[in-house]
Amino acid sequence: MGQFINVGNTRFRRALDSKYVDKTQLIAAVNSTLFKEWNMSCVTRCRRFGKSMAASMLCAYYDKSCDSRELFKGLSIAKDPSFEKHLNKYPVIFIDMSIIISRFGHDADIVDKMQKEISNELLEAYPEVKMRDEDDLMDLILRIANHTGEPFLMIIDEWDAICREFKKSEAPMDKYITLLRRFFKGSNAPQAFIGAYITGILPIKKYNTESALNNFWEYTMLSPGGWERHFGFTKKEVEELCNDSVLDFQDLEKWYDGYRIGKERSMFNPNSVIQALVKESCENYWGRTGAFDKVAHYIQMNYDGLKDAVISMLAGEKCPVKYTRFTNDPKRVDSKDDVLTMLIHLGYLSYDPDERKCYIPNLEVREEMENAIRESKWEEVVKTIDASEALLQAVLDGDAETVAAGIEQVHQDEVSILSYNNENSLACVISLAFYAARNNYMQYRELPAGKGFADIVFIPWRNVDSPVLLIELKYDKSARTAINQIKEKNYPDKLKKYVGKVLMVGINYDPDTKKHTCSIEKA
């Protein structure tokens, strides 16, 4: 068992001894690509979303140097018609680019050194094959494949690590892309490889309008191509994990759900879920695996409308995004849409393909976004966030005067999005003002209730002893008019199925006086 050649099944065996969720149907998906014109696959997901685990599973399945039959016994792939055909049948080259970078650092010759390391290991594994002075790594791989009659399967984990880490120099990245093109774009690639499987955070970089490796089929956060269920945990999978846990499913849902990937409307961050289950505590685990200053770097870029978009998403809104022009290069982010697209790939935002909008997916990510906003020194927004807990308490205490004054203060803090002129804009303001409520409440906009739609409803998470907050907004009318509408349309009775207590909150904004008024009643 080597570092690059036929790495075996040890890592996957260790995973099976942990809280393993069966994702082996990915193997069937990859099997369907082998020896085909579409045998090059690139899967990109945000960090800690199961990419490396999947790569170790594929190594265990395909690697001819080990016997993994018992490991897959009882898993879903064992029932697939393709299981026996490819099980432990091929020589595998596995490259973890994050390890390459940790070993060689930001050495300008990193690509050459990586090729030398892999070549030396290949020569040890195949001593009967000689390497000529003019040969490069691809030449050696071809010689071995022709000599043995066995082409390789190439697996590269974190393929884009060089693209992300070498920020000041284009040379190593360009040399690396050239090497990948040498592997996979030439006419002799089918002689060398039965297929390739690479993972990363960013899709393959575009040069001009085309991908540098346009023969790869890409499965991304934005366009998963039917492979969405193979990465991340589904709602059903997390519910099953909770059967043997002291944690409540709804707590996990609040913290780690919210990613919409393709047809899967409810995807959880798997690493965070497993850590929460093992440690029996829901916390921000994802934030500990990365630095929020990265997202701070992007959100403070001075692109028109970017700050408004971030603030509205912090308030629970969704924002339109056009992602097709992004070049997948972190050094070439030059518009609001590029920033939002980058944050989707990084996992700080999720994307709704039906509405073509992005949003903050869950509490864990929202905490990271809040950290980034504090790092960006958006003082007026930070002030609103810090004051939101007191504002929520004022509502619970029935202190309408304090609530009106608090919302008015938010309006006066000169956040651009607060220059509202209708009820929809007012709703965004109220959502931001009640930012702290989402720690204990689910927020809904335009929730069907009674004979109409309630403007904003905060429904407490299960096991939270708080009333439903039913907020009706008016523009240039009165807070009492808002309360009367709640009663006339019978909203409270519809919402009592969630919890026995309901607070009715009416809020009005007078555009002439620039004043807010509030009325609070128990239903």
Domain 291-375 sits in CATH at 1.10.10
Greatest alpha-carbon pair distance for the chain in Å reads 89
Q: Note the pLDDT tens digit of each residue in 225-246.
A: 999 999 999 999 999 999 989 9
Q: What percent of the chain has pLDDT over 70?
A: 93
Query: In the CATH hierarchy, which fold is given to the domain comprising 10-229?
Result: Rossmann fold (3.40.50)
CATH 1.10.10 residue ranges for the chain: 291-375
Kindly give the pairing relationship between strand 193-200 and strand 152-157. Answer: parallel
Confidence band for 409, pLDDT divided at 50, 70 and 90 = confident
Q: Would you tell me how many other CB atoms lie within 10 Å of the CB of residue 211?
A: 16
What is the Cα–Cα distance from 381 to 25, expressed in whole angstroms? Answer: 45
Q: Tell me the percentage of the chain whose pLDDT exceeds 90.
A: 67
3-state secondary structure 415-435: CHHHCCCCHHHHHHHHHHHCH
**pTM for the whole thing?**
0.92
Comma-separated ranges of CATH 3.40.1350 domains in the chain: 379-522
How is domain 379-522 classified at the architecture level of CATH?
A: 3-Layer(aba) Sandwich (3.40)
Tell me if 484 sits within 8 A of 471, measured CB to CB.
no
Task: Dump the DSSP string for 152-188.
Answer: EEEEEESTTHHHHH--S-SHHHHHHHHHHHHHHTSTT
Domain limits, CATH 3.40.50, in the chain: 10-229
Model pLDDT, residue 412: 74
| C-alpha span between 111 and 286 (Å, rounded) | 30
Residue 413 has pLDDT above 90, yes or no: no
- The predicted-structure confidence for 434-469, as pLDDT tens digits, reads as follows 999 999 999 988 776 655 556 889 999 888 889 999
- Tell me the average pLDDT across 469-487: 91
Dist. CA 190–CA 142, nearest whole Å: 10
Instruction: Answer yes or no: is pLDDT of 419 > 60.
Output: no
Q: Which two tokens stand for residue 439?
A: 């720690």
Tens digits of residue pLDDT in 276-334: 999 999 999 987 766 667 888 899 998 988 988 998 899 898 999 999 989 888 888 99
Q: Are 212 and 206 in contact (CB under 8 A)?
A: yes
| Residue 124: CB atoms within 10 Å | 10
Position 119 pLDDT exceeds 90: yes
| pLDDT tens column, 75-116 | 999 999 999 999 999 999 999 999 999 999 888 899 999 999
Choice between 141 and 431, residue whose per-residue pLDDT is larger: 141
Residue range 374-399: average pLDDT?
Answer: 92
CB burial of 323-335 (b: ≥16 within 10 Å; e: otherwise) equals: beebbbbbeebeb
Average pLDDT estimate for 149-161: 95
Angstrom distances, CA of residue 136 to CA of 112, 133, 144, 212, 499: 9, 8, 13, 20, 69
For the chain, what is the mean pLDDT?
90
